Amino acid sequence: MIPSTQAIEREAQRLLQDNHFMFDPQPSVAEEEAAEPEEGRLQLPLRDFIRQAWEVVEPATVFLNNWHIDAIADHLEAVTYGQIRRLIINIPPRCMKSLAVSVFWPAWSWTLDPDPDEVDHGRSVRPGTWAGPGTRFLFSSYAHALSIRDSVKCRRVILSPWYQSHWGGRLRLTYDQNQKIRFDNDRGGYRLSTSVDGALTGEGGDI
């Protein structure tokens, strides 16, 4: 038997009174805009940054999260904040080590506010850490082609509309040093790539 309209209304009222339903109305455009953080204010944990930046470098591949990715991200964050001084990551090939370490981590580190307490220390890196756009990265691989590959992907993340919409006001890549093997930002940070047979005399990095 099909219930009457009155019976349906009575059942709906009963469920509402019993808190079986919780309505989540869609926010208005004004509410969504008010909820958006100011440019440069969004602070993401590295694990969340990886998930959101994934489609920038791997648009044809579905991101499959796993505990080891979160573990890598947590350890890299600890390096950024000065809690770990030496880190070795031993995992099988094709488990996202290169992407996490060489692509997403530098781009994420540059998004961090170097002065979150607003003490006006005037530095582009948070004191006692490697958090901020002034951090200098030096990456090396056994193969020069792999080193360049990861550098290009990292730069692609930084230049993406997604990244620029959130942190474009915190840093810009300089026009006079923006190459595949090395690119600098306007806050003093850079990412330099080399290989085991490459020359590093006169170069260095924080990480």
Q: Which pTM was predicted?
A: 0.78
Provide the 3-class DSSP secondary structure of residue 190. Answer: strand
Q: Which of 15-19, 49-53, 90-94, 103-107 has the lowest mean pLDDT?
A: 15-19
Q: How many CB atoms lie within 10 A of CB 138?
A: 16
CA–CA dist 134, 171 (Å, integer): 9
C-alpha–C-alpha distance, residues 137 and 67, integer Å:
26
What's the confidence (pLDDT) of residue 13? 58
Lowest mean pLDDT among 51-55, 69-73, 83-87, 199-203: 199-203
Side chain identity at residue 95, one-letter code: C
